[in-house]
A and B are shown apart, each in its own frame.
Chain A
Amino acid sequence: MPGRVASAALLLATLVALPARARDASARTTLEGFVWNTSPVALQTGLVTGGGAEMRRLFGSQGLFFGAELALGQSEEATNDWVLDDLDGLASVEVGLERTFGVGTLRASFSLGTLAVEQLGQRAQFDRLKAAGLHGLTRNAASIGPYAAVDLGAAIAFAGAWTFFVQLGPAFTVQKVAGQERSRWLLTSGLGVGRGF
């Protein structure tokens, strides 16, 4: 569901952007919205899908930028006994460099932040078990840990101050999974639009 909402937002933003003014090369601040995908921390076979927002600001004339990012995603997997629904929340700050070539921009960034995972577990056959008056059918759990990522992105300007971008990169986090602190390598990606101010 969050993935669908983010996709709809992306489509809407694209439509709004079409009549926008010509490209503003002097923009120092960029706001971005994107569809966010990442590999899951705990549910090995799933895929976290969601959306996020980012604000970046250029400093100086060498393409140095700082930014902050918020993203939310969801993944669900099931075994014979449980349906596990993970809600991932990411908050991070980043530093990076970008270079503009005509209407295109390449960028690389390093992010540091925290990744929170809330897990809602429900026994398989929940409705039947509930109808039988049984208890202990749900469980909630959470984990918060450090998060670091390297992203490589490419953006292309259109309709003036608007850009369309993709980004991809590895990420690393440490989370408490199955009772143990575990380090996880993740692969994250983003697809979205931004607007310069």
Chain B
Amino acid sequence: MVFRSALAILVAAALSGCGSGVDDLSLPPTILVTLRGHVDVTRVQAAAGGHPLNAALVWGADPSPLYQLYALCLKYASNADLQPACPDPFGFVPSQIEATTRVNADGSFDLPLIHLPDARVCVGTAPPLVAWGSLVVAADTDGSGTFDFFAPRKQGEYGRTPPTLADRVVAASFWSLQKPEQRVGYLEGTWNEAILGLFYPLPGCPTPRAGFSVLTAPGMTVDVSQGNLTPKPLPGTCTDEVATETVEATPLSGPDGRAFACRQVQDRLRVSQPPMTRPGINPVTGKPEKNSPEANDKQACLDATTLALISPGDCPTVQLYPLKGCGDQLSCQTPEWDLTKHVPVWWPCH
């Protein structure tokens, strides 16, 4: 009797498939948050030159790889040849492009996020971790249909060759610590000022909320001249809103937009021993060598013992030749080379 009942139940279940249904490996990701952005289209039309506008969330990088270049630019602030290669030390350094979309005709755009920021754009222990992002609008000047800071490198180009800009950055919600900004924040865990506070600091602002949020800040200033490096907030109000608040991308001038994109190139200063023959020049013929990136560089004597070769192009890079120094370091206690008493024949600085 029991066996028959069990059999009846099994047969009934077998014949009447039910359940909500399971998923296979094509299961799409859920959207973690949808960021809403806006740009004043009338103010960026001229810069866009009729090209369609793309928007992206761009997470910010740790700017420390640029510190040596900042220091060099500060040391030789009066050198006009060097300054075009100098990034804004208070500038947002773009890194990972997380989500992109086309900007609507009215300037609005939505960016659904399905992934957390990569570890390479987060600062902190795990947790707390923080990442800061900027909503960036760029004109699709390369016609690729996608948001690209730089064009792909051509065959034969190598590391020293400066990259060529692709799309034209025309607006960003966060581009300099010294300007009013709206940034996208991602905080994992509980805010810890000692660990997280120096990464794109927000002086005078409330503690960011956990998860994704939108922070509005008036910007900050640092009075370097008096040796006090403590950041001070500019007049204005800081707010920390939920991530669905609309973020306004501020129109940028052409040079500011170019400088914004170029800060993504962090390998912009190289320090090496001066060669015995002039870089980029064939020692036999005395003519520029073909395919040598140094052949077209601008030569700038920073002082009698320091030569800089500054590459032309969208994002100038600096090749520094100190007569005494260490590889890839601006200063060192024990120099790896000292040519001050054996100056190369071609050395142009006196």
B333 at the interface (CB under 8 A from A): no
Interface contact A44-B25, CB-CB below 8 Å: yes
Q: Complex Cα distance A68/B19, Å?
A: 24
Interface contact B22-A114, CB-CB below 8 Å: no
Question: A92 to nearest B CB, angstroms?
Answer: 7
Question: B53 to nearest A CB, angstroms?
Answer: 29
User: Chain B: how many interface residues by the 8 Å CB criterion?
Assistant: 37
Which one, A79, A86, A146, contacts B14 given CB within 8 A? Answer: A146
Interface contact B127-A176, CB-CB below 8 Å: no
A110 at the interface (CB under 8 A from B): no
Given the known inter-chain contacts A132-B188, A132-B211, please indicate yes or no for A81 contacting B114, CB distance below 8 A. yes
Secondary structure class of chain A's binding surface, majority of residues = strand
Q: Complex Cα distance A42/B20, Å?
A: 13
Given the known inter-chain contacts A45-B25, A129-B116, A146-B15, please indicate yes or no for A141 contacting B186, CB distance below 8 A. no
Question: A12 to nearest B CB, angstroms?
Answer: 28
Within 8 A of A (CB), among B180-203: 186-189
Closest to B119 in A: A128
Secondary structure class of chain B's binding surface, majority of residues = loop
B27 at the interface (CB under 8 A from A): yes
Interface contact B25-A43, CB-CB below 8 Å: yes
Q: Which of B5-13, B61-69, B324-332 lines the interface with chain A?
A: B5-13
Q: Which of B28-36, B38-46, B159-167, B261-269 lines the interface with chain A?
A: B28-36
Mask: chain A, 7-50; 1 = CB below 8 Å from B; 0 = not: 00000000000000000000000000000000001111100000
Residues in A whose Cβ lies below 8 Å from that of B212: 132, 134
Question: A115 to nearest B CB, angstroms?
Answer: 9
Q: Complex Cα distance A118/B13, Å?
A: 15
Closest to A125 in B: B116
Q: Which of A161-169, A177-185, A188-196 lines the interface with chain B?
A: A177-185
Closest to B28 in A: A81
Interface contact A114-B10, CB-CB below 8 Å: yes
Within 8 A of B (CB), among A47-84: 68, 77, 79-82, 84
Q: Complex Cα distance A176/B186, Å?
A: 38
Interface contact B18-A144, CB-CB below 8 Å: yes
Interface contact A131-B22, CB-CB below 8 Å: no
Interface contact B10-A178, CB-CB below 8 Å: no
Closest to B26 in A: A178
B286 at the interface (CB under 8 A from A): no
A174 at the interface (CB under 8 A from B): yes
Residues in A whose Cβ lies below 8 Å from that of B14: 112-114, 145-147
Which one, A79, A93, A128, A143, contacts B21 given CB within 8 A? Answer: A143
Q: Complex Cα distance A123/B186, Å?
A: 18
Residues in B whose Cβ lies below 8 Å from that of A102: none
Residues in B whose Cβ lies below 8 Å from that of A82: 27, 29
Contact size range, A: 35 or more
A155 at the interface (CB under 8 A from B): no
Mask: chain A, 85-122; 1 = CB below 8 Å from B; 0 = not: 01000011100000000000000000011101101010
A142 at the interface (CB under 8 A from B): yes
Question: A60 to nearest B CB, angstroms?
Answer: 17
Interface contact A132-B187, CB-CB below 8 Å: yes
B210 at the interface (CB under 8 A from A): yes
Q: Complex Cα distance A143/B21, Å?
A: 5
Interface contact A176-B211, CB-CB below 8 Å: no
Residues in A whose Cβ lies below 8 Å from that of B6: 68
Interface contact B25-A175, CB-CB below 8 Å: no
Residues in B whose Cβ lies below 8 Å from that of A147: 14
Residues in B whose Cβ lies below 8 Å from that of A133: 209-211
Residues in A whose Cβ lies below 8 Å from that of B20: 141-143, 176
Question: A84 to nearest B CB, angstroms?
Answer: 7
Q: Complex Cα distance A46/B19, Å?
A: 22
Q: Complex Cα distance A93/B13, Å?
A: 12
Interface contact A145-B17, CB-CB below 8 Å: yes
Which one, A86, A132, A136, A178, contacts B210 given CB within 8 A? Answer: A132
Residues in A whose Cβ lies below 8 Å from that of B26: 178
Q: Complex Cα distance A125/B119, Å?
A: 12
Interface contact A136-B30, CB-CB below 8 Å: yes
Which one, A134, A139, A144, contacts B19 given CB within 8 A? Answer: A144
- Shortest Cβ-Cβ A-B pairs, 7 listed: A176-B21, A81-B29, A145-B17, A146-B14, A143-B19, A119-B22, A114-B13
- Extra 9 A-B pairs, beta carbons < 8 Å, given A82-B27, A143-B22: A43-B24, A43-B25, A112-B10, A116-B19, A119-B22, A128-B126, A132-B186, A134-B32, A178-B26
- Which residue numbers of A lie inside 8 Å of B, CB to CB? 41-45, 68, 77, 79-82, 84, 86, 91-93, 112-114, 116-117, 119, 121, 123, 125, 128-129, 131-134, 136, 139, 141-147, 174-181
Show 9 residue pairs from A and B whose CB-CB distance is below 8 angstroms, ordered by the A residue.
Answer: A68-B3, A81-B28, A84-B23, A92-B10, A123-B30, A128-B188, A131-B127, A132-B188, A145-B17
- Which residue numbers of B lie inside 8 Å of A, CB to CB? 3, 6-7, 10-11, 13-15, 17-30, 32-33, 114, 116, 126-127, 129, 186-189, 209-212
